[in-house]
Amino acid sequence: MSDRNDGPDASHRRPDGVSDTTVEALGALSKALETTERARGHLYAFHQLTGTADLELDRAVELLREAGHADWAGRVQEEILGRNVIPGHWTFQIVESYNGTYYEPFKGLEKKARQDLAEDKDHLYEAELKEERRTTGHPHHTATPDDSAS
């Protein structure tokens, strides 16, 4: 049996007048932003892995010299160490460009859409999906983190 306080907390309840289609559209926009967050994480991984590889080249150059291969040490140092990953760019510049050109504008637009269309309430689609799928009264299907349903 459900009591009147069961269901999403106030920050996850659909405002009056917001249609199913609007909630679904905001959910799709949020999902796209979440996918972009994942892509951004991969871009940071690329940045860090490439930087780590470049720093490891110092050891390769040192060992090649130590092994008597000064010519190869010189080639690695001159041709690869510190090389741009795309013309004119190190990875930090790619990350900065991505953030400024795509990520920040996308994040700002998604927030503005929530503000204008749903009183800045986040994850309305997911909150309603949770309500549809959970078993009311089950101790592991509580509506909110602070529920003490048993």
Give the mean model confidence (pLDDT) for residues 25-33.
97
Q: What pTM does this model have?
A: 0.82
Query: What gap in Å lies between CA 16 and CA 19, rounded to an integer?
Result: 9
pLDDT at position 147: 65
pLDDT band at residue 118 under the 50/70/90 scheme: very high
Q: Give me the residue label for tokens 């972009």.
A: 36
Crossing angle of the two packed helices 20-66 and 124-133, in degrees rounded to 10: 110
- pLDDT greater than 90 at residue 22: yes
* Share above pLDDT 90 across residues of the chain, in percent, rounded to a whole number: 78
Q: Would you state the structure tokens that stand for residue 36, as one six-digit string? A: 């972009």
pLDDT band at residue 149 under the 50/70/90 scheme: very low
- pLDDT greater than 70 at residue 120: yes
In degrees to the nearest 10, what's the CA dihedral of 112, 29, 6, 131? Answer: 170
- pLDDT greater than 60 at residue 150: no
Alpha carbons within 13 angstroms on the beta-carbon side of residue 149 total 19
Domain boundaries, the chain: 19-125
Mean pLDDT of the chain: 92
Burial class (CB in 10 A: 0-12, 13-18, 19+), 43: middle
